[in-house]
Amino acid sequence: LMEMHIFGVLYTVLFVILCVMFIGTFSEKRDLSGKWCRYAVIGAMILADYFISVKLDGDIILKEIAIIVTGTLFMCLCFRQRWIKTAIFVLLYQGICFVMDYISILMLSKCFPAITVERLSEPLLINALLGILSQMLQVCFIMVLRRYVVKKSSEMLTTLEWVRFTIFPIYTIIVLIALLTNFEIPESDHQKNILICIAFGLLVMNIIVFCLINDILKREVQITENRLLLERVKNETGMYRTISENYDKQKKREHEYKNQLALIAALASENRVDEINHYLKQYNHEIMQHTDFIDTNNVIVNAILNSKYQETREKGIVFVVKVNDLSDLRIKDEDIVLILSNLLNNAIEACEQCEKPIIKMKFVKEEHQIVLSVANTFSVTPVIVGKRYITTKTKEADRHGIGLENIKETVGKYDGSCVIKHDDDNFKVAILIHNQEK
């Protein structure tokens, strides 16, 4: 009897932990006061579920209703989710438990003839191993669910890495099936306890590994988001610094313009025409060096495009631009800075290594859509890891691909689409955003 109670407690603990893992796939954790507050809530749920299982063991329907109500109450305390959705998730989890129990029994009784009715009805060992096998199948189901639901975390691992990750759960299932099919039921209670401990240990190890991988992925996502934020701040700071420097240069040119007018007036008063013509040609050349050639009726876009145009001229890069009136863009200034700066910085850096450096850019408003595309030549073929492009930077290697990820995330804020591809000669990024108020 004591062994059955111990098994019941352990089974309830794992049941609650897997319930938390399942609902945590769809919901955010609630910020609870106190470090151990969440653990206290989970502990209380374990005690409540075990009490219900013992007291209502004879009435399955009433027991399941009580467990669903209790689970909904405690999960609402743990996660930020409306109680109706939480109840649906708890109900789904309970249904998954029944399905996995049925699959476990069906798989063993139909696929493995060594399992007889007498073995399945053995009160402790076989029931314990079947329960653990069922929960192991639930762990695998939650792993697959996380793979396709939690996109940010799952995309941090490649398909091959996910396959490697599943080796341990598959091995555990095989071991559990082997224990059920290839070993005779031991007569010694000590041997039974050892087998149950081995099975429980394998299941707990799988859960620990799963949680460990999940925490590592969350940390990687946080690190990536911090890098994206730093890249955003870097781009915005650089752009606003450029605007500030251009403003200072404009003030200096205005001051010089007054002095130059005074000089021309003095030369004209002395009728020194040849000197005036020579001075005007020289001054006209200087003006051309500082003239803004691109005007979209948008201050931020003008500042970025003209500064990058000047940079490409100095580096000998052909910069072909097609723009129109962008005065009523529905994109925030900081997002424009991030998208344009990243696109053009990447393009300029790639072109610096080319024999024929060419950048072609289109930034136009067509009806209710914004079309932005940048194509540039390159000499080093970009590397693709999973679905992510890794740029060919020689400096700041840890920031490879961050700019493109930043662009895709920013475009996603406006429900836009971003396509990135390359051929033998050009690297291309095309962005389409609906130009309307959210």
pLDDT digits (tens, 9 = 90+) for 218-239: 777 777 777 766 766 666 666 6
137 C-beta neighbours (distance < 10 Å), count = 21
Question: Rounded distance, CA 218 to CA 216, Å?
Answer: 5
Q: Which residues are within 8 A (CB) of 312 and not within 5 positions of it... i.e. 6 or more apart?
A: 318, 319, 348, 351, 359
Q: Region 314-328: what's the mean pLDDT? A: 89
pTM for the structure as a whole: 0.54
Instruction: State the average pLDDT for the chain.
Output: 77
Sign of CA pseudo-dihedral 343, 344, 350, 355: positive
Q: Region 47-51: what's the mean pLDDT? A: 87
pLDDT for 199 equals 78
Tell me the pLDDT band of 116, cut-offs 50, 70 and 90: very low
Tell me the pLDDT band of 384, cut-offs 50, 70 and 90: low
Indicate if the pLDDT at residue 187 is higher than 80: no
Question: Rounded distance, CA 307 to CA 294, Å?
Answer: 10
Question: Rounded distance, CA 196 to CA 271, Å?
Answer: 110
DSSP letter at 262 equals: H
Indicate if the pLDDT at residue 117 is higher than 80: no
Weakest mean pLDDT among 82-86, 187-191, 392-396: 392-396
pLDDT digits (tens, 9 = 90+) for 342-379: 888 889 988 888 888 999 999 998 878 899 999 999 88
pLDDT digits (tens, 9 = 90+) for 246-281: 666 666 666 666 667 777 777 778 777 777 777 777
